[in-house]
Amino acid sequence: MSHHNRTRQPNEDDDDDDPLDRVIKKSGCADLHYKVQFCMAEKQDWRQCQVEVKEFRECVEKNRKQQEKT
């Protein structure tokens, strides 16, 4: 039996298996991350999403600094 089941359907627990998703959720900035993703998908040009990217980066930096204090 293959360990790679390509017919497996995604479910709500899949986000928990992705280390990047866990880090983003832990950062407290998931909403802003999804805003960046949506913008980039919609505009097909990351340069047109600089406001969203900046907001996400500032959120991550703020939360990183708060975690360093604890």
> Interior CA angle at 38 toward 30 and 60, to 5°?
30
State how far Cα 54 lies from the chain centre.
14
Residue 55 lies in a domain: yes
Q: Does 13 fall in a domain?
A: no
3-state secondary structure (DSSP) of residue 47:
helix
What is the C-alpha to C-alpha distance for residues 64 and 66, in angstroms, rounded to an integer? 5
Would you say residue 27 lies in a domain? no
CA distance 51 to 56: 9
Total domain count, the chain: 1
Q: Which domain holds residue 61?
A: 44-70
pLDDT tens, 15-54?
457 898 888 888 899 999 999 999 999 999 989 999 999 9
> What's the CA gap between 9 and 2, in Å, rounded?
16
- pTM exceeds cut of 0.85: no
Identify whether 3 is part of a domain: no
- The answer to whether residue 67 sits within a structural domain is yes
